[in-house]
Amino acid sequence: MGCAVLLSILVVCCGTQTPKTDPAITVTVMPSIPLITTTPAATLDPKAALHESLIQVLGTGNRNVPRLTKISYSDPEAGDITITWAINDDGSQHSRRVAAQIDATNILKVLGNNKTRFIYVILIGTFSMQDKNASVTELQAMNLGFNKSKLDKINWEDFKPSDIYDLADVAYIVEEWK
């Protein structure tokens, strides 16, 4: 009698529907109920998600260089992140500076919403400028460094992009971009 019960439990658990019967015991085997499983939605790795979000927030460029030039991570991770982007040419010097400040603010907003771990972020904005040899090349217009602990305290909804230079812990800005 015990073997028949164990056999029926085994049959139910294994999902087979061929009943085994013993003339002394009547066992009804119910069809197995399929387990409901959910597969997690495909999620991007935080670095890939950051890359995609930055491309989206920076949008298309109006110069012949990619907007998002480079993202580099310190080793070990969770240290520094350096994000380099090409500043759009918005006509006047003032308009370019304002666009760069908006870009930097948007980059920091994206970084705040991303799950990439870091302690410090460096933003490098580049623009085509004439170097000391009179050659036109892509050079750093600004290099801004921010501690994450400071960024975590910012209410980005009320933040003015014109304050980005003051927010930076370290700021190197080429004279015409100040």
Same domain for 99 and 134, yes or no, is yes
Report residue 101's pLDDT band, with 50, 70 and 90 as the boundaries.
very high
The residue range of the domain holding 87 is 46-177
Whether residue 19 lies inside any domain: the answer is yes
Same domain for 92 and 20, yes or no, is no
- The yes-or-no verdict on residue 130 having pLDDT over 50 is yes
Q: In terms of Cα–Cα distance, which of 69, 164, 59 is closest to 125?
A: 69
- The yes-or-no verdict on residue 112 having pLDDT over 80 is yes
Same domain for 120 and 97, yes or no, is yes
Cβ count within 10 A of residue 126: 20
Whether residue 168 lies inside any domain: the answer is yes
Q: What is the pLDDT of residues 149-177, one digit of tens each?
A: 999 999 999 999 999 999 999 999 998 87
Same domain for 2 and 58, yes or no, is no
Q: DSSP 3-state assignment of 73?
A: strand
Please give the tally of structural domains in the chain. Answer: 2
**Predicted model pTM:** 0.73
